[in-house]
């Protein structure tokens, strides 16, 4: 009897987008035997996970930074897959190309890697996807209720921007263009508002308020709340200069929200300008203003674009569809792996050594997550997470230590 391929998935954090990708890989590929362990927890307990690669056939790093950060801890006893979402500084990414196979999330980065001399046979495009049962349009009554909760009047044209500030390395999110375009739009149409979701944007919020633009700021929202936040919008902007996805493009489209985006990442693969979204050149703040005005003055246009956006996702970008190339990726890695042998006899019950760790792994993942978002300014959300852990797992000392730590900092 053939044993299933044992795969260790390593996202940066379980609660960010890479954790979502990992969970869906597990969900839609039961033919593999998966373990999911975040970069954050490995970094927190390096001695516990030293050499863990010996228990697996394949290690899949879902972030190039995860590969750089923890590969020495994990070890090199298994075949290796790395994921490159986008490139800001090639010198920091290039070492990832030494892995046995490379996953990219859009064709833009496949072409880029080939231009850098990476063999095409090592690269597999595995697109991001969406849970369309979760991310779906909301009824008008629900939209108004959500807006009331955000203190945004129903008649205001609400524009969204969702990201964490730490993702804005080298200003790749184009926040300067977003800010400039909002200021210009406010000058020609007064009834606009902005919804910012994600930690670390306090200074940006002050800028919007200086423009006298009504602004709602949600520092942290769990995934289950994101569809409601998308549903409150009239339009979603992506002003980025560099992207792999972004996955928010897919989520907004799945919710039937018109999107205005630059031609980056997966937008190049999925967007047909004027049909299911709008494309504006990079650094063109006037383009965002002009296209937004078209949407502001045509409810019919908003409805048509939103409906076609939803259809686009349903017809190719649900997780069950987008992750179909995962087996091709893993087979490519195994094929390219130098000296890879059938290790099924070596994969004994060593994984059982991690059972005690795994029993508390979900708690540790949440503690690492809470610590991270607290550092980003979302201390209230972090406090709620830790408080819940303390009372749901009252004998787990690490949770109480984390609670005391955050209370001392409040």
pLDDT in tens, 299-358: 999 999 999 999 999 999 999 999 999 999 999 999 988 655 444 434 444 444 454 556
> Tell me, what's the pLDDT at 408?
65
Domains in the chain with CATH codes: 6-129+320-351 (3.40.50.2000), 140-317 (3.40.50.2000), 369-409 (no CATH)
| Across 379-402, average pLDDT | 76
In this predicted model, which residue has the larger pLDDT, 93 or 124?
124
**Residue 397 banded pLDDT, cuts 50, 70, 90:** confident
Identify the burial level of 115 via C-beta atoms within 10 angstroms of its C-beta, where 0-12 means exposed, 13-18 middle and 19 or more buried. exposed
Q: Please give the pLDDT value at position 410.
A: 57
For 9-39, the pLDDT digits (tens) are 999 988 888 999 999 999 999 999 999 999 9
Buried b (16+ CB within 10 A) or exposed e, 221-231: eeeeebbbbbb
Q: What pLDDT, on the 0 to 100 scale, is given for residue 235?
A: 98
Query: How large is the average pLDDT for residues 47-69?
Result: 92
Mean pLDDT score of the chain: 89
Q: How many CB atoms lie within 10 A of CB 180?
A: 17
Instruction: Report whether 121 contacts 187 (CB < 8 A).
Output: no
CA–CA dist 241, 279 (Å, integer): 13
Q: How confident is the model at residue 398 (pLDDT cuts 50, 70, 90)?
A: confident
Q: What is the dihedral of CA 10, 13, 15, 19, to 10 degrees?
A: -20
Given this model, what pLDDT does residue 359 score?
60
Rounded Cα–Cα distance for residues 274 and 32 (Å): 41
Dump pLDDT digits (tens) for 188-224. Answer: 999 999 999 998 898 999 888 888 899 999 988 888 9
Other C-beta atoms closer than 10 Å to the C-beta of 292 total 26
Q: Name which of 42-46, 288-292, 398-402 the model is least confident about.
A: 398-402
Q: What tens digit of pLDDT does each residue of 125-159 get?
A: 999 999 999 999 999 999 999 999 999 999 999 99
Q: How far apart are CA 40 and CA 9, in angstroms?
A: 13
E strand segments, 64-120: 79-84, 101-104
Query: Nearest-CA neighbor of 235 among 259, 255, 214?
Result: 259
Instruction: State what percent of residues in the chain have pLDDT above 70.
Output: 92
Q: How many CB atoms lie within 10 A of CB 88?
A: 12
> What is the value of pTM for the model shown?
0.89
* DSSP secondary structure of 146-194: HHHHHT--TTSEEEEEE--GGG-GGGTT-HHHHHHHHHHHHHH---EEE
Buried b or exposed e, range 321-350, using 16+ CB within 10 angstroms? bbbeebeebbebbbebbeeeeebeeebeee
Q: How confident is the model at residue 226 (pLDDT cuts 50, 70, 90)?
A: very high
pLDDT at 238 over 90: yes
The pLDDT, as a whole number, for residue 351 is 47
pLDDT given at position 200: 87
123 Cβ neighbours under 8 A, 6+ residues apart: 101, 102, 104, 110, 113, 114
Looking at residue 60, what is its pLDDT? 97
| Per-residue pLDDT band at 2 (split at 50, 70, 90) | low
> In sequence order, which residues have a C-beta less than 8 Å from that of residue 46 and are 6 or more positions away?
70, 73
Q: How far apart are the first and last CA of the chain?
A: 56
Calpha distance 399→114 (Å, rounded): 46
Higher-pLDDT residue of 211 and 61 is: 61
């Amino acid at each position: 009897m053939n044993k299933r391929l044992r795969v260790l998935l390593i996202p940066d954090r379980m609660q960010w987008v890479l954790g979502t990708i990992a969970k869906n890989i597990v969900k839609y590929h039961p033919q593999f035997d998966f373990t999911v362990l975040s970069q954050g927890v490995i970094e927190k307990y390096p001695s516990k996970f030293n050499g863990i690669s010996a228990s697996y056939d394949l290690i899949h790093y879902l972030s190039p930074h995860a590969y750089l950060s923890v590969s020495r801890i994990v070890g090199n006893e298994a075949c290796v897959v790395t994921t490159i979402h986008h490139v800001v500084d090639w010198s920091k990414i290039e070492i990832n190309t030494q892995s046995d196979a490379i996953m990219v999330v859009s064709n833009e980065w496949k072409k880029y890697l080939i231009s850098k001399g990476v063999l095409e046979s090592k690269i597999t495009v595995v697109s991001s996807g969406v849970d369309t049962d979760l991310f779906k349009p909301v009824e008008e009554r629900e939209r108004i209720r959500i807006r009331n909760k955000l203190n945004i009047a129903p008649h205001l044209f609400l524009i969204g921007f969702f990201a964490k500030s730490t993702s804005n390395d080298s200003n790749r999110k184009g926040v300067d263009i977003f800010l400039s375009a909002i200021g210009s739009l406010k000058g020609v149409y007064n009834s606009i508002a902005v919804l910012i979701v994600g930690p670390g944007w306090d200074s940006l919020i002050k800028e919007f308020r200086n423009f006298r633009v009504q602004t709602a700021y949600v520092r942290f929202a769990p995934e289950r709340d994101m569809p409601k936040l998308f549903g409150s919008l009239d339009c979603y902007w992506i002003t980025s200069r560099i992207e792999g996805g972004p996955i928010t493009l897919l989520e907004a489209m799945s919710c039937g929200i018109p999107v205005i985006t630059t031609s980056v990442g997966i937008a190049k693969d999925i967007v047909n300008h004027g049909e299911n979204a709008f494309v504006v050149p990079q650094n063109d703040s006037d383009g965002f203003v002009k296209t937004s005005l078209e949407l502001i003055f045509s409810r019919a246009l908003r409805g048509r674009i939103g409906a076609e956006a939803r259809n686009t996702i349903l017809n190719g970008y649900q997780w069950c569809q987008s992750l179909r190339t995962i087996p091709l990726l893993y087979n490519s890695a195994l094929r390219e792996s130098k000296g890879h042998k059938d290790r099924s006899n070596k994969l004994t019950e060593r994984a059982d050594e991690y059972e005690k760790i795994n029993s508390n792994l979900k708690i540790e993942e949440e503690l690492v997550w809470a610590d991270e978002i607290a550092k980003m300014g979302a201390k209230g959300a972090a406090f709620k997470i830790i408080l819940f852990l303390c009372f749901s797992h009252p004998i787990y000392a690490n949770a109480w230590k984390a609670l005391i730590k955050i209370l001392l900092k409040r």
